[in-house]
Structure 1
């Protein structure tokens, strides 16, 4: 049986089915990200008091931490409409203009993966963000003509996992920047309990804690694991989620006590067995394990670095002593 990969660059159908019910609607219901949430609360209240559009917002951090959810919450708090798109989907200036044309004063345009906007679209966005107008040329050759579009004041919310790939001119036009951090275990426990309540299934304290510990600091992963454990509990248990069901399900799914999945362990064991623990370049490592570089850099490496399994050095990636101990390898100097 193929193991489900809990860190995935592709959204799942089941994710989409439960997205609306699992997402909080207001800041008071949004769990975690206290710093970003507290600052945004002030900016939102100030914009409402002045009857102005909220300043443009950049949300950045690893995938699965709630950037899209927070954008929807901001729209709800402001009481405005939100148009959503993604960087790769906006291929031409005309595509951007079609979206902007749907906005009313104060509305929000949310662009996920904003670092992947084509440069020609990004340059059109500068004047839209700063002065609320767009100049584009339609037609070709002798029939071409410039068109000037005035826009209502709006808020652009950009989300990215790779803030360093944004150009300086685009980054400078965001007045509000929020760094999304990995979640604490206590916050993830609250998220798991809330999701279980939405699913109308009982979960005990030990089980919710176990899921929180193994979810890599990421709500999206916590919710995915909760659904899988729920399946095991309903088929092999009494329908409620107990610690025994949870541990049994996660053992089948090969999610260890620190949340490492089979690909995490493949990355680390490859570094130890093929490269003596490193240093090794990310491109070489990606080719060896059969994954693309972006997947490793965006989906896996941030957590492995944050947890102390991998170190980045000028010569490449290296595993740490913790990795040897966790995977039961003899230390390199021995």
Structure 2
């Protein structure tokens, strides 16, 4: 169900990926947002180029849709190399990885999305490749087994994960650069939307773009999707120009409120409040009540709600904050917990 959401952070398919690829920045100068991360990567790239070495291995972690794949392409473009894209679930056996590694040229970028989902067998093949730029292949079995070492070209591995805690310690330790991607500020999303509206040859009022930026959940992928949907609405229901009125009507039709929440976000919070009295409640219980997968709730819905203090995590489980009640226009009821229902910092004054 979550994959069909307009504000969903996952890709909806090849068509969207093709459209997003055309809008991606090609170098650091074009990249908007993530200033601290971009500065660190720029320094690492320039240092590697001056030494004529591949860039150190990079681990990018954070919610989906924030530009991890885009950054892999930017790094490759900056060093004049090719980028090879794959994902953890696609690499089911060592031979899959060996086939990719042996095709890499000097300085190429190998981007592995969902790297936390690599199997243990594939990880073992990746370790010597990352450290010594070689792969060890076992030939035959039993008493006749022998290991053949194949040298590979020095390369840069860029791994992306939404679940850093699921990445093994030995894998994390082999990345020279490990950085977290934060949600984008509305100002950064506004700049991204302005640039992308020009690329789409779409006339858009500045107020309309600010409205889209505010409702894009801090995520460029969502911002681009809303821009295209709003453009479609303006084309069919208006004069083709994106203005504030058509933007609000398009977002209202999509059931996206002024904080960027859609119906599924609101159902998540209502479930906590109506069924479990605001919490604390375990994620498994919420998933069962909503008929959703736990991973969907943790990876897709929760991050933005946590970031904006609509919900909190406690030792006892998830809790809805006072802000969630106010957003849903419900009367504030402090949730019961082992502290006698005392509110948290995010809850504000329980008596107000």
Q: Give the superposition deviation at 1:137.
A: 1.2
Q: Distance in 2 between the 1:61 and 1:110 partners?
A: 15
* TM-score for the superposition, normalised by structure 1: 0.97
Q: Can you give the 5+ residue segments of structure 2 that lack an aligned partner in the other structure? A: 335-350
Q: Is the 8 A contact 2:26 2:77 kept in 1?
A: yes
Q: Distance in 2 between matches of 1:114 and 1:284?
A: 28
Provide the rounded CA distance (Å) in 1 between the counterparts of 2:89 and 2:61: 17
| DSSP-derived class of the 1:83 partner | strand
Query: Which position in structure 1 is the counterpart of 2:193?
Result: 192
Q: Tell me if the contact between 1:280 and 1:316 (Cα under 8 Å) persists in the aligned partners.
A: yes
Q: Distance in 1 between matches of 2:155 and 2:105?
A: 7
Seen in structure 2, the aligned counterparts of structure 1 residues 257 and 23 have a Cα distance that, compared at 3 Å, is same
Q: How does 1:23-172 map to 2 (within 5 A)?
A: 23-141=24-142, 144-172=145-173
Residues 83-108 of structure 1, C-alpha deviations (whole Å, 9 max, x = no match): 11100001111110000011111111
Corresponding residue for 2:332?
331
2 CA distance for matches of 1:158 and 1:303?
Answer: 22
Q: CA deviation at 1:6?
A: 2.1
Show the counterpart of 2:231. Answer: 230
Aligned residue for 1:303? 304
C-alpha displacement of 1:8: 4.9
Structure 1 residue runs of 5 or longer lacking an equivalent are none
Residue 55 of structure 1 and its aligned partner are, at CA, apart by 0.5
Whole-Å separation in 2 of the counterparts to 1:10 and 1:81: 23
CA displacement at 1:122 relative to structure 2:
0.6
For residues 177-212 of structure 1, give each alpha carbon's deviation from its aligned partner in whole angstroms, at most 9, with x where no partner exists.
121010000000011111111111011011000000
Residue deviations 1:122-181 (CA, integer Å, cap 9, x gap): 111111111111112134446643221111211100011111111110000000112101
Q: Residues 64 and 220 of structure 1 are in contact (CA less than 8 Å); yes or no, is this contact kept in structure 2?
A: yes
- Separation in 2 of the partners of 1:13 and 1:250? 24
2-structure distance, mates of 1:319, 1:71:
37
Residue in 2 that maps onto 1:174: 175
Aligned length: 333
Query: Would you say the 8 A contact 1:9–1:295 is kept in 2?
Result: no
For 1:122 and 1:157, locate their aligned partners in 2 and report how far apart those are by CA, in whole Å.
14
Secondary structure in structure 2 of the residue aligned to 1:304? helix
| Shift of residue 33, structure 1, vs aligned partner | 0.5
